[in-house]
């Protein structure tokens, strides 16, 4: 069954919710209502919204530490998520976890983990349990490009493939791990290749185009559920904010940021909805009109002294757990080839990259790199000299 018009509007609403929730969280962090770390997902909304769309309530989800988007999509409890950021008892994890440790046993949302790649072995365990108990569920595991260079990634890929576990691995390649560009951290820039060598089916998707993501998600979720085997998807995306709130992101150029903003998932999707007559300007504006609500006109109602946090906006209505949906209608042509080309060929700061890349990948480095002289073992002469010089000091 193709996505209905209402489905498409709901997806838009959800992505707007994610963005506004985080803009609000940033404000509240800056106003010192929220402590600890805060890693914003702004820019990557299409990945969380798209991949969680076709899954069932019985399926499991594991996120990394940039997991507000997945938690909002899965748990539909923005107030409890915000309360968790505030460290309130009514928060999703009882106020003890904060932004990086959102958890819901009922919704089968198993974190939120602060350790890079830490969710991967957990997904492996969940996949194993599903298989052992012969459940019909599957496990979705979201992680960043940085996790690919962790040993846990390779051990998990190997065993997931070897034991044929029902896990959909979703690598959110947002181009950076902290301030390090993917090209400076991974010898192979096409990250899906890193999983391919474990005999696993791999896919890549334009993570800025939500309909492409939904279509990919539907295909992969069905395949994992049917064939009881893992699939790895690299979703190419971009985060607009720094690594965390504390990061001003000086390692990126304005040109690079502007380029990606032109492919903003919300803007692109809005254009699609309008161009195809799925929604009017007024309808979409009505979804967006909560902007003033979310940015100051109505206070985030933190009742000091009690443990109640309310975000007074009907915008934050509960999202129903959708049944599985099919997408058989053609999706608009994504920007994937363009984005991938940008992502894999362009260099954000050539002078920075020049330091890190091997020569064959590095157009700016022509001459043989000069080696820094190693100290090496000291010759007996040198050692004697030093000893004799130090003698008068005794």
CB of 237 to Mg ion, least distance (A): 9
∠ CA(216), CA(218), CA(220), 5° rounding? 65
Residues near ligand TPP (CB under 6 A), total: 13
CB of 53 to ligand TPP, least distance (A): 21
Residues 6+ apart with CB under 8 A from 213: 46, 47, 49, 50, 51, 205, 206, 207, 235
Three-class secondary structure assignment of the chain: CCCCHHHHHHHHHHHHHHHHHHHHHHHHHHCCCCCCCCCCCCCCHHHHHHHHCCCCCCCEEECCCCCHHHHHHHHCCHHHHHHHHHCCCCCCCCCCCCCCCCCECCCCECCCCCCCCCHHHHHHHHHHHHHHCCCCCCEEEEEEHHHHHCHHHHHHHHHHHHCCCCEEEEEEECCEECCEEHHHHCCCCCCHHHHHCCCCEEEEEECCCHHHHHHHHHHHHHHHHHHCCCEEEEEECCCCCCCCCCCCCCCCCHHHHHHHHCCCHHHHHHHHHHHCCCCCHHHHHHHHCHHHHHHHHCCCEECCCCCCEECCCHHHCCCCCCCCCCCCCCCCCCCHHHHHHHHHHCCCCHHHHHHHCCHHHCCCCCCCCCCCCCCCCCCHHHHHHHHHHHHHHC
Q: Does 145 bind Mg ion (CB under 5 A)?
A: yes
Could you tell me which stretch among 173-181, 260-268, 293-301, 355-363 binds ligand TPP (CB under 6 A)? 173-181
Q: Residue from 21, 51, 86, 176 that binds ligand TPP (CB under 6 A)?
A: 176
The residue with its CB nearest to ligand TPP is: 144
Q: Which one, 65 or 198, has the nearer CB to ligand TPP?
A: 65
Binding track over 225-244 against ligand TPP, x by CB under 6 A: ------------------x-
CB of 66 to ligand TPP, least distance (A): 4
CB of 180 to ligand TPP, least distance (A): 8
Name the binder of 111 from ligand TPP, Mg ion, none, CB < 5-8 A by kind. Answer: none
Q: Residue from 87, 111, 127, 146 that binds ligand TPP (CB under 6 A)?
A: 146
Q: How far apart are CA 244 and CA 45, in angstroms?
A: 16
Q: Residue from 147, 167, 210, 235 that binds ligand TPP (CB under 6 A)?
A: 147
Q: Does 149 bind Mg ion (CB under 5 A)?
A: no
The residue with its CB nearest to Mg ion is: 144
Sign of the dihedral through C-alpha 351, 357, 363, 365: positive
Could you tell me which stretch among 68-76, 114-122, 308-316, 319-327 binds ligand TPP (CB under 6 A)? 114-122
Q: Residue from 111, 118, 144, 166 that binds Mg ion (CB under 5 A)?
A: 144
In a 13 Å sphere around the CA of 83, the CA atoms on its Cβ side amount to: 23
Name the binder of 9 from ligand TPP, Mg ion, none, CB < 5-8 A by kind. Answer: none
Q: Residue from 178, 188, 197, 308 that binds ligand TPP (CB under 6 A)?
A: 178
CB of 145 to ligand TPP, least distance (A): 4
Under rule CB under 5 A, which residues in 165-194 are in contact with Mg ion?
174, 177
CB of 152 to ligand TPP, least distance (A): 8
Q: How far apart are CA 323 and CA 317, in angstroms?
A: 18
CA 128 to centroid of chain Cα atoms: 24
Q: Which one, 144 or 334, has the nearer CB to ligand TPP?
A: 144
CB of 159 to ligand TPP, least distance (A): 19
CB of 374 to Mg ion, least distance (A): 33
Q: Which one, 47 or 287, has the nearer CB to ligand TPP?
A: 47
**By the 8 A CB rule, do 166 and 138 touch?**
yes
Q: Does 245 bind ligand TPP (CB under 6 A)?
A: no
CB of 8 to ligand TPP, least distance (A): 27
Name the binder of 114 from Mg ion, ligand TPP, none, CB < 5-8 A by kind. Answer: ligand TPP
Could you tell me which stretch among 5-13, 172-180, 228-236, 252-260 binds ligand TPP (CB under 6 A)? 172-180
Binding site residues, Mg ion, CB under 5 A:
144-145, 174, 177
Binding site for ligand TPP (CB under 6 A): 66, 114-116, 144-147, 174, 176-178, 243
């Amino acid at each position: 069954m193709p996505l209905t018009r209402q489905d498409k509007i709901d997806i838009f609403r959800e992505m707007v919710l994610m963005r506004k929730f985080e803009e609000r969280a940033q404000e509240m962090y800056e106003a010192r209502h929220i402590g600890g770390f805060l890693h914003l997902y702004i820019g990557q909304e299409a990945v969380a919204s798209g991949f969680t769309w076709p899954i069932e309530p019985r399926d499991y989800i594991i996120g990394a530490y940039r997991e507000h988007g997945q938690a909002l999509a899965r748990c539909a409890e923005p107030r409890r998520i915000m309360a968790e950021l505030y460290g309130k008892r009514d928060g999703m994890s009882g106020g003890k976890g904060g932004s990086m440790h959102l958890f819901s046993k009922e919704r089968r949302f198993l974190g939120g983990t602060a350790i890079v790649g830490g969710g991967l072995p957990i997904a492996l365990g969940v996949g194993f349990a599903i298989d052992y108990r012969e459940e019909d569920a599957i496990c979705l595991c979201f992680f960043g490009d940085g996790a690919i260079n962790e040993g846990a990634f390779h051990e998990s890929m190997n065993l997931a493939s070897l034991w044929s576990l029902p896990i959909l691995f979703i690598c959110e390649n947002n181009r950076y791990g902290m301030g390090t560009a993917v090209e400076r951290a991974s010898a192979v820039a096409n990250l899906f290749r890193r999983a391919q060598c474990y005999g696993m089916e791999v896919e890549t998707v334009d993570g800025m185009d939500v309909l492409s993501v939904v279509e990919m998600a539907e295909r992969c979720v069905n395949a994992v559920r049917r064939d009881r085997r893992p699939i790895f998807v690299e979703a190419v995306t971009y985060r607009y904010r720094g690594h965390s709130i504390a990061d001003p992101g000086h390692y990126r150029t304005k040109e690079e940021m502007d380029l990606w903003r032109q492919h903003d998932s919300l803007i692109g999707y809005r254009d699609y909805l309008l161009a195809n007559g799925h929604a009017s300007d007024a309808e979409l504006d009505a979804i967006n009109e909560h902007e003033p609500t979310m940015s100051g006109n109505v206070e985030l109602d933190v009742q000091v002294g009690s443990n109640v946090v309310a975000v007074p906006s009907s915008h934050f209505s509960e999202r129903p757990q959708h049944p599985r949906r099919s997408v058989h209608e053609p999706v608009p042509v994504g920007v994937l080839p363009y984005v991938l080309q940008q992502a894999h060929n362009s260099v954000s700061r050539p002078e920075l990259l020049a330091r890190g890349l091997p020569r064959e990948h590095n157009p700016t480095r022509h001459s043989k790199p000069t080696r820094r002289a190693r100290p090496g073992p000291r010759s007996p002469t040198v050692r004697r000299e030093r000893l004799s010089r130090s003698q008068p000091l005794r």
